Chain A
Amino acid sequence: MHVQPYSTILRRCQLCLYSCLKRLQSETSRNQNMRLYRQLNRAFLSNRRTYGQRPVVSSTMDADEIKHFRSLANTWWDETGEFEALHAMNKIRIPFIRDGLVQQLEMSPRNPAEPLQGLSVVDVGSGGGLLTEPIARLGAFVVGIEPVEESTKIAQLHLEEDPRLLPRVKYITGSVEDLVSTEAETFDAVVASEVVEHVNDLEAFMASCCSLVKPGGSLFVTTMNKTLLSRTLAVFGAEKVFRIVPEGTHDWQKFVPPSDLQSILEKNHFHTRLLHGMLYMPVLREWRWVPDTSINYALHAVKD
């Protein structure tokens, strides 16, 4: 994502000014953009206002869900802690997103280390930033939306530990609807990983996510199927027996069968490109791709 034209610069908040400044510092075009750089610098230094609290907006998020995740905010980045399964899931969902985008958009990246350069992605329900940071490292500009403010703070703090990522990631406390009014059809991809099983109003949520995607852009969803098997293994087994996830994380009633999801997507002018099952092996602590979608599944849909 490139720097906006001059006239809109001073309308940026402190944080965004800082991100742009850092971005210019790290690019070789600083000399060419000296005038812009100086203008940004001046604006950044003079723009010291006192701000109030950022409110939490949650039209599609459930209040109880938010309370539950708030209590877990501090353990996000411990790879062997509460979120071990999510960290392990990155090993399969990042290649899924990366390869899906590269193939769909028929990209031939010049830099193999950053195959998603030039793309903009929204990570819905970014939490502590577990999925946001890897996508940003692969070159994309990522906006992470999260209703729980503590998680956003944890995510931002963690982000700042890696200066290279700072200009590429933007965390926002809020819900997807906040973006729709101004950013409809501007993103190359929207990722809703392990989120749809926590929302109240699935149709509205999916409609918002879908409206953010450019035509030809992608939507990636990973979630859990509503079957007897998922109730036994993924809810009862994972929470009480194996203790892979903390108790109370999942509400089986909210699980979404792939057919329901696909029909909602069809209504929003998306067609499914790939649907595949995933399975977590508690002993090996690894995720595997499996043909069966009864428990967990991943979906890649493309906008017509």
Chain B
Amino acid sequence: MATQILQKCSLCFATARQLGTLHAYASRRYTSHDVQTADIVISGGGMVGAGMACALGHESLLQNRRIVLLEAAPKKGFSLTEKYGNRTCTLSPASVSLFEKCGVWSKVENMRCQKVLRMQVWESCSNALISFNPTDEADEIAYVAENDVIQEALTQRLEEMKDRIEVMYNTSADSVAVPGVDKELASNAWVEIKLNNGQVLKTKLLIGSDGMNSLVRKTCQFHTLSLSYNQRGVVAVVKIDETNNNVAWQRFLPTGPIALLPMSSTAMSLIWTTSPEHANQLMSLDEESFIDAVNDAYIHDRDMNSTAGQVSDMFQKVLQNIMPGGVAMHQLPPIITGVQSGSRGAFPLGLTHASNYVRHRVALIGDAAHRIHPLAGQGVNLGFGDVIKLSEVIAKAAANGSDLGSLTYLKEYETSRQRKVLPVMATIDGLQRLYSTDATPIVLLRSLGLQATNALGPLKDYIIKGASSS
């Protein structure tokens, strides 16, 4: 036996002579305490980033970990006024249940949100239309809420969870050093984030939720597919006469879809995707002309294609004979009576998709990973779906005692999310291209397709379920 009876360590049983090289390793490591360390850092405090922070804060398995959220903007004071914010989003039931789980939904409801009970989608080149109703499981298809309201609800919740999540306002990452990408770092080193206030933050896992121009994604050198639609989205808050306002309307014009989402009994959110020239023109119109343009967009039939119209009418009659209940009444949206002053805005549209969402010690969520066309209102819901899956995967890693930045678990997140995001992205991109032309054969195809889908209740339910789940 190599151990000697005298001069033996009572804990590790090594003799004085046996402790050779390990001594050197132990004593040199903890001399500098000037670099801060955290377990998880979320870079970017938008809706998805803040949602991620709330979700992680609710995981009991992470209660002893240091979780930091970096938000570039200062802490905003928010007060709910009569004026509505012009950026809104439709929250799917899955996103709503995430909010309920994190204690955020009650705050949103206390402020402002509106249920969507029905959705009608049609186009200007034919009479085909599709009408979505809720499935048997839920009363509503989605909820519409202003982005400001959601952000404020999340901020309030994070304030309540101060002991679990540390939010650093006015802080953003200037540069990020990722092991494996940065040659200076050892292969298993922690991610080093240099903040704009000069501090350095080291972390085991960096979650990039910093939007479509993500610094984290660029640092990781993920191959990114990025194309810009030659379109701009014009948003505004429009007023209507008081009515039961629970229907979402979307009409596909050759220049792009125009959508009206209910915000309250007297207000609706307008999102009109159109060519850049037309968008600039709309922005420069005076209020009266703008209102007229919007109303006209919903009722005009200048683009009506006669051939397609005749064929689709015939098809309609056929469907009515086969499936009497499968044909919906064509309804018109409420007339716009006014525009909230100062609520008109425009933003560019594009598609971005990172080929990888994860690497060792890094994960991307929300627009940093995937950015899509707003025509189906799915952008932020995909982001919240990322939040749900990633927090599940991190909790699983913690339950198994694994290093939180371990690629083995992050890969599960990536695979699961790509399987969900890619088909949605392809479908929405496909729809956008399908409806951007007024060529007769395409119009015919899409009209017949839409009418057939409208008649098939189970198919519509499937679509709604797919859009509703995470």
Residues in chain A within 8 A of chain B (CB atoms): 4, 8, 11-16, 18-19, 22, 49, 51-55, 57, 77-80, 87-88, 90-91, 94-95, 98, 111-114, 133-138, 143, 153, 156-158, 160-163, 170, 172, 174, 177-179, 181-183
A-B residue pairs, 8 tightest by C-beta: A134-B401, A13-B9, A137-B401, A16-B11, A51-B19, A138-B401, A54-B18, A94-B400
Within 8 A of A (CB), among B387-412: 398-403, 406-408
**Contact of B281 with A by CB under 8 A:** no
Q: List 4 other contacts, CB 8 Å, given A15-B23, A77-B188, A98-B401.
A: A54-B18, A137-B402, A161-B189, A162-B403
A52 with B17: CB separation less than 8 A: yes
A51 to chain B, nearest CB (A): 4
**Contact of B32 with A by CB under 8 A:** no
A94 neighbours in B (Cβ, 8 Å): 400-402
B64 neighbours in A (Cβ, 8 Å): 111, 113-114
Give the docked Cα–Cα distance between A13 and B10 (Å).
Answer: 8
A172 with B26: CB separation less than 8 A: no
- Chain A's closest residue to B186 (CB) is A161
Of the residues A15, A114, A170, contact of B19 by C-beta under 8 Å:
A15
A172 neighbours in B (Cβ, 8 Å): 12-14
A14 neighbours in B (Cβ, 8 Å): 19, 23, 26-27
Give the docked Cα–Cα distance between A172 and B8 (Å).
Answer: 14
B408 with A157: CB separation less than 8 A: no
A65 to chain B, nearest CB (A): 19
Q: Quick one: given A88-B408, A94-B400, A134-B402, are A54 and B20 in contact (CB under 8 Å)?
A: yes
B21 with A153: CB separation less than 8 A: yes
A179 with B13: CB separation less than 8 A: yes
B18 neighbours in A (Cβ, 8 Å): 51-52, 54-55
Stretch in B55-63, B101-109, B151-159, B161-169 with 4+ CB within 8 Å of A: B55-63
Give the docked Cα–Cα distance between A57 and B401 (Å).
Answer: 30
A90 with B400: CB separation less than 8 A: yes
Give the docked Cα–Cα distance between A156 and B310 (Å).
Answer: 78
Q: Which residue among B19, B63, B406 has the maximum number of chain A CB atoms within 10 Å of its CB? A: B19
B8 neighbours in A (Cβ, 8 Å): 11
* B interface size (C-beta, 8 A): 44
Residues in chain B within 8 A of chain A (CB atoms): 1-3, 8-14, 16-23, 25-27, 29-30, 37, 60-64, 187-190, 204, 360, 398-403, 406-408
Q: Which residue among B18, B23, B399, B401 has the maximum number of chain A CB atoms within 10 Å of its CB? A: B401
A111 with B188: CB separation less than 8 A: no
B189 neighbours in A (Cβ, 8 Å): 161
Of the residues A19, A160, A179, contact of B29 by C-beta under 8 Å:
A160
Q: Quick one: given A90-B400, A163-B30, are A49 and B13 in contact (CB under 8 Å)?
A: no
B403 neighbours in A (Cβ, 8 Å): 133, 137, 162
A15 with B22: CB separation less than 8 A: yes
Give the docked Cα–Cα distance between A246 and B79 (Å).
Answer: 63
- Chain A's closest residue to B3 (CB) is A178
A52 neighbours in B (Cβ, 8 Å): 17-18, 20
Q: Quick one: given A54-B19, A55-B2, A170-B12, are A90 and B26 in contact (CB under 8 Å)?
A: no
Give the docked Cα–Cα distance between A54 and B403 (Å).
Answer: 30
Give the docked Cα–Cα distance between A94 and B402 (Å).
Answer: 9
- Chain A's closest residue to B9 (CB) is A13
B360 neighbours in A (Cβ, 8 Å): 79
B16 with A4: CB separation less than 8 A: no
- Chain B's closest residue to A51 (CB) is B19
Of the residues B11, B20, B25, B398, contact of A12 by C-beta under 8 Å:
B11
B26 neighbours in A (Cβ, 8 Å): 14-15, 18, 156, 160
6 A-B residue pairs with Cβ-Cβ distance under 8 Å, sorted by A, are A11-B10, A15-B22, A90-B408, A153-B22, A158-B188, A174-B2
B19 neighbours in A (Cβ, 8 Å): 13-15, 51, 54
A113 neighbours in B (Cβ, 8 Å): 60-64, 398
Q: Which residue among B2, B13, B190 has the maximum number of chain A CB atoms within 10 Å of its CB? A: B13
A110 to chain B, nearest CB (A): 11
A80 neighbours in B (Cβ, 8 Å): 407
A133 neighbours in B (Cβ, 8 Å): 401, 403
B188 neighbours in A (Cβ, 8 Å): 77, 158, 161
